[in-house]
A and B are shown apart, each in its own frame.
Chain A
Amino acid sequence: MDVKWGSLGEVAVVSFGATVGVVLFFALGVRALAGRDAARTAGQDGTALTAAAGACFAVCAGAVLYGLYLIIPQFH
Chain B
Amino acid sequence: MDHITFLVAMVIVTALAFDFTNGFHDTANAMATSIATGALRPKVAVGISGVLNLAGAFLSTEVARTISGGIVDDSLVTPGMIFAGLVGAILWNLMTWLLGLPSSSSHALFGGLIGAVWVGAGRGGVHFDKVVEKILIPAVASPVVAGLAALAATYLAYRITARAPKDGVSKGFRTGQVASASLVSLAHGTNDAQKTMGVITLALISCGALGHDAGPPVWVVLTSGLAIATGTYLGGWRIIRTMGKGIVDIESPQGFAAESAATAVILTSANLGFALSTTQVCSGGILGAGVGRRLAEVRWSTAGRMALAWLVTLPAAAAVGAVAAGAVVHGGTLGTVLIAVAAVVIAAVIVLLSRRNPVHADNVNSAPTTSVRRSATAHAGA
Contacts and interface: CB of A to CB of B under 8 A. Distances in A.
A binds B: yes
Interface of A: 1-4, 7-8, 10-12, 14-16, 18-20, 22-24, 26-31, 33-35, 37-38, 60, 64, 67-68, 70-74
Interface in B141-164: 141-142, 145-146, 148-150, 152-154, 156-157, 160-161, 163-164
Interface string B122-156: 00000001001100011001100110111011101
B173 A26 contact: yes
B153 A31 contact: no
A33 B142 CA distance: 34
Contacts of A64: 179, 183
A19 B41 CA distance: 25
A20 B153 contact: yes
Contacts of B274: 7-8, 11
B256 A23 contact: yes
B261 interface: yes
Contacts of A34: 161, 164-165, 168-169, 172
Given A12-B141, A19-B153, A71-B190, A30 B60 contact: no
Interface of B: 56, 59-62, 129, 132-133, 137-138, 141-142, 145-146, 148-150, 152-154, 156-157, 160-161, 163-165, 168-169, 172-173, 176, 179, 183, 186-187, 190, 253, 256-257, 260-261, 263-265, 267-274
A20 B260 CA distance: 9
4 closest Cβ contacts across the A-B interface?
Answer: A34-B164, A23-B153, A30-B172, A19-B149
Contacts of A29: 172
Nearest to B272: A7
